[in-house]
Structure 1
Amino acid sequence: MPSDTSLLSAAARPRMQVVNRPFRHWPPIAGREEVARLCRLVRQLTGEMVQLTGDRFAARRDRRRTECHIRQIAMYVCHVELGIPMSDIGPCFGRDRTTVGHACQVVEDRRDEPAFDDFVAALQRLAGGIFNVVKGARDE
């Protein structure tokens, strides 16, 4: 029996299929500290990008919501672009692996909006470019 995803058109299939995973297999010397540092940097990069593109003066409730969206997008980029496992991302953000999965699903659902999709794609390109350079310098 065919799977449910085989019945979907190519445009309707989930986008979380990653082709380029620069950090897919973490070297044994890369510990939790390095993963936590990468997650912190992606979170900071996401926050800066949101500030550049968004409204800086938000109400308290909106700020909390914005922080939640920033964290979800950062988790998504860490998992999809950098290939960090969800079980390693969760503790870096003070969350569980299942929360990371939910965050990835929320971001995937919002990628149907063209402006949001462009934002996340730009963030993925930035994170991929920056951390590929860092990884290359570390491996030399």
Structure 2
Amino acid sequence: MPLEKHFELFVPPPGRLIAACAASRPPGLPASLPLRNVCRIVRQMVGELVPLFGDRVMLRRDRRRLSCHVRQIAMYVCHVALRISMSDIGEAFGRDRTTVGHACHVVEDRRDDPAFDDFVSAVERIVTVVFGMSEVPAHE
């Protein structure tokens, strides 16, 4: 039996699809900038800031591990500071939403270190200034 007989494809009317996409967008981000580009910009910013202000232990490790830490911090900042959903972040980074959740947990666990917490707080402040979001809650 063809699959189409059991499952009808639901395609919303064109007006509702645009409204649904706009509703899933975090408030404060420019509508003309796709979320994928926002995440890429954040990742690039974190990658540039790590050698300048990052802890020395992170810099001594191999490049693959460093890029993993940069990606995890960028995912965390996108989720916490910019309020982008884990699904959208995962799509932008080419990962699954559960990977984004894991990255957020890893970064949150590392925030017990005062130097790392200061670094992530600085990145959050920079990202919120760049994207013009003023209502970001402080980290507890």
Report the CA distance between 1:53 and its aligned residue: 2.6
Corresponding residue pairs, total: 106
Maintained 8 Å contact 2:39/2:92: yes
Report the CA distance between 1:85 and its aligned residue: 0.3
CA distance 1:26–1:126, shift in 2 (3 Å): closer
Query: Does 2:99 align with 1:99?
Result: yes
> Tell me, what secondary structure is at the counterpart of 1:132?
coil
Supply the AA of the counterpart residue of 2:93.
Answer: F
Where do 5+ consecutive residues of structure 2 fail to align?
A: 1-24, 134-140
Query: Does 2:44 align with 1:47?
Result: no
Query: Does 2:112 align with 1:115?
Result: no
Counterpart position of 1:24: 26
Report the CA distance between 1:25 and its aligned residue: 4.0
Cα distance between partner residues in 2 of 1:26 and 1:120: 21
Q: TM-score scaled to structure 2, two decimals? A: 0.68
Following TM superposition, the consecutive aligned residue runs of length 4 or more in structure 1 with deviations greater than 4 angstroms are none
Cα distance between partner residues in 1 of 2:94 and 2:72: 12
Describe the superposition over 1:80-132 as per-residue Cα deviations: whole angstroms up to 9, x where unpaired.
00000000000111100000000000000000000000000000000001101
Counterpart position of 1:64: 64
Query: Does 2:82 align with 1:86?
Result: no
Report the CA distance between 1:26 and its aligned residue: 7.6
Q: RMSD in angstroms over aligned alpha carbons? A: 2.4
Identity of aligned residues (%): 60
Cα distance between partner residues in 1 of 2:35 and 2:26: 12
Cα distance between partner residues in 1 of 2:31 and 2:85: 13
Supply the AA of the counterpart residue of 1:98.
Answer: T
Maintained 8 Å contact 2:39/2:74: yes
